[in-house]
Amino acid sequence: MQGNKVIGEAAIRTGCRFYAGYPITPQNELPEYMAESMCQVKGGVFIQSESEIAAIHMVAGASAAGARAMTSSSSPGISLKQEGISSMAACELPGVIVNMMRGGPGLGNISPAQGDYFQATRGGGHGDYRTIVLAPASGQELADLTMDAFDLADEYRMPVMILADGMMGQMMEPVVFKEPKPRQYRERYVLKGAGAGKSRFIRGLILDPRAMEEHNWKLARKYEVIAQKETRHEAFNTEDAQLIVTAYGTAARIAKGAIKRLHDAGLKVGLFRPITLWPFPSRELQEISERTDNFLVFELSTGQMIEDVHLALCGRGYVNFYGRPGGVVPTPVELAHVIARQYSKKDRHHE
Amino acid sequence: MTKKVFGKPKCLKENVFHYCAGCGHSIVHRLVAEVIDELDIRGITIGVPPAGCAVLAYNYFDIDMIEAQHGRGPAMATGIKRTLPDRVVFSYQGDGDLAAIGIAESFHAANRGENITVIFINNAVYGMTGGQMAPTTLLGQRTTTSPSGRDAVKEGYPIRISEILSSLPGTTFIERCTVNSPPNIIKAKKAIKKAFQYQIDGLGFSMIEVLSPCPTNWKMTPIAACKWIDEVMSKEFPLGIIKDIKSSDKGGKSHVG
| Chosen domain end from A206, A229, A252 | A229
Structural domain of A119: 3-194+217-229
Predicted confidence band of residue B254 (pLDDT cuts 50, 70, 90): very low
State the pLDDT at residue A347.
Answer: 54
- How confident is the prediction along chain A (351 residues), in pLDDT tens digits per residue? 999 999 999 999 999 999 999 999 999 999 999 999 999 999 999 999 999 999 999 999 999 999 999 999 999 999 999 999 999 999 999 999 999 999 989 999 999 999 999 999 999 999 999 999 999 999 999 999 999 999 999 999 999 999 999 999 999 999 999 999 999 998 899 999 999 999 999 999 999 999 999 999 999 999 999 999 999 999 999 999 999 999 999 999 999 999 999 999 999 999 999 999 999 999 999 999 999 999 999 999 999 999 999 999 999 999 999 999 999 999 999 999 999 999 987 555 544
Dist CA B65 CA B59 (whole Å)? 10
Residue B175 inside a domain? The answer is: yes
Contact across the interface for B72 and A54, Cβ inside 8 Å: yes
Reference A98, options A70, A72, A130, A132; nearest CA is A72
Specify the pLDDT at position B253. 46
Instruction: Give the dihedral sign, CA A234/A235/A237/A242.
Output: positive
Could you tell me if A294 and A168 lie in one domain? no
3-class DSSP assignment, residue B107: helix
Please check whether residues A160 and A274 belong to one and the same domain: no
* Residue at B5 is within a domain: no
A223 lies in the same domain as A251 = no
User: Among B25, B47, B26, B51, which Cα is nearest to B36's?
Assistant: B47
Query: Within this chain, do residues A332 and A221 fall inside the same structural domain, yes or no?
Result: no
A208 in a domain, yes or no? no
Of all residues in chain B, the percent with pLDDT exceeding 70 is: 96
A83 and A131 housed in the same domain: yes
State the nearest Cα–Cα gap between A48 and chain B, in angstroms. Answer: 11
Is B82 in contact with A202 (Cβ distance < 8 A)? Answer: no
Please indicate, yes or no, if residue B257 is contained in any of the structural domains: no
Residue B55 lies in a domain: yes
What is the DSSP secondary-structure string of B25-43? HHHHHHHHHHHHHHHT-GG
| A202 within a domain of the structure (yes/no) | no
- Closest by Cβ to B64, choosing from A17, A59, A201: A201
pLDDT at B249 exceeding the cut of 70: no
Q: Is residue B140 domain-resident?
A: yes
- From A229, A255, A288, the end of a domain falls on A229
pLDDT value at B135 more than 50: yes
Write out chain A residues lying below 8 Å of B105, CB-based.
50-51, 53-54, 57
Tell me, yes or no, if B76 comes closer than 8 A to chain A by beta carbon. Answer: yes
Yes or no: say if A243 and A269 are a contact pair by the CB < 8 Å rule: yes
Residue A264's CATH number = 3.40.50.920
Q: Which residues of A touch B43 (CB under 8 A)?
A: 193-196
My answer on whether A81 and A160 are in the same domain is yes
A212 domain residue, yes or no: no
Whether A276 contacts chain B with CB within 8 A: no
Asked whether the ipTM of the predicted complex exceeds the cut of 0.85, the reply is: yes
Considering only CA atoms, which of A315, A276, A314, A323 is closest in space to residue A296?
A: A323
Structural domain count of chain A? 2
- Chain B, residues 93-152, CB within 8 A of chain A, namely 104-105, 107-108, 112
Tell me the CATH number at A84.
Answer: 3.40.50.970
Which pLDDT tens digit goes with each residue over B38-84? Answer: 999 999 999 999 999 999 999 999 999 999 999 999 999 999 999 99
| CB spacing of A91 vs B67 below 8 angstroms | yes
**What's the CATH code of the domain at B56?**
3.40.50.970
For residues A97 and A245, state if they share a domain: no
| A295 alpha-carbon distance from chain centroid | 23
Domain of residue B115: give its range: 25-244
Which of B66, B91, B114, B128 is the best mutation test for A, with the most CBs of A within 10 A?
B66
Question: Is A32 in the same domain as A139?
Answer: yes
For residue B7, tell me if it sits in a domain: no
Give the length of chain B.
257
Across chain B, what does the average pLDDT equal?
95
In a domain, B166, yes or no: yes
In terms of Cα–Cα distance, which of A334, A299, A295 is closest to A318?
A295
A328: contact with B, CB 8 A cutoff: no
Beta carbons of B82 and A205 less than 8 Å apart:
no
Contact between B5 and B48 under an 8 Å Cβ cutoff? The reply is: no
Q: Are residues A223 and A241 in the same domain?
A: no
Q: How many domains does chain B have?
A: 1
**Residue A345 pLDDT:** 79
Does the residue B88 lie in any domain?
A: yes
Locate the chain A residue with the closest alpha carbon to B75.
A58
Tell me, yes or no, whether A171 and A258 share the same domain.
no
Q: Which of A42, A57, A187, A202 to mutate to test the interface with B (most CBs of B within 10 A)?
A: A57
Whether pLDDT at B143 is above 50: yes
**b/e string for B191-215 if b means 16 or more Cβ within 10 A?**
bbbbbbbbbeeebbbbbbbbbbbbb
B58 closest CB neighbour out of A50, A87, A203: A203
In this model, does residue B256 exceed pLDDT 70? no
> Mind telling me how many Å the CA of B246 is from chain A's nearest CA?
28
In a domain, residue A264? The reply is yes
Model confidence at B255, pLDDT cuts 50, 70, 90, reads very low
Residue B8, pLDDT above cutoff 70: yes
Residues A276 and A155 in one domain: no
* A187 lies in the same domain as A314: no
Whether chain B has a CB inside 8 Å of the CB on A69: the answer is yes
**Residue B191: what residue type?**
A
Write down the pLDDT at residue B251: 46
DSSP-assigned letters across all residues of A258-274: HHHHHHHTT--EEEEEE
| Residues composing chain A | 351
**pLDDT bracket for residue B1 (50, 70, 90):** confident
A57 within a domain of the structure (yes/no): yes
Backbone angles phi, psi at A108, to 5 degrees: 60, -135
Task: Kindly give the pairing relationship between strand B45-48 and strand B64-66.
Answer: parallel
User: A208, A229, A250: which is the final residue of a domain?
Assistant: A229
Q: Is the pLDDT of residue B252 over 80?
A: no
Distance of CA B2 to the CA centre of its chain: 36
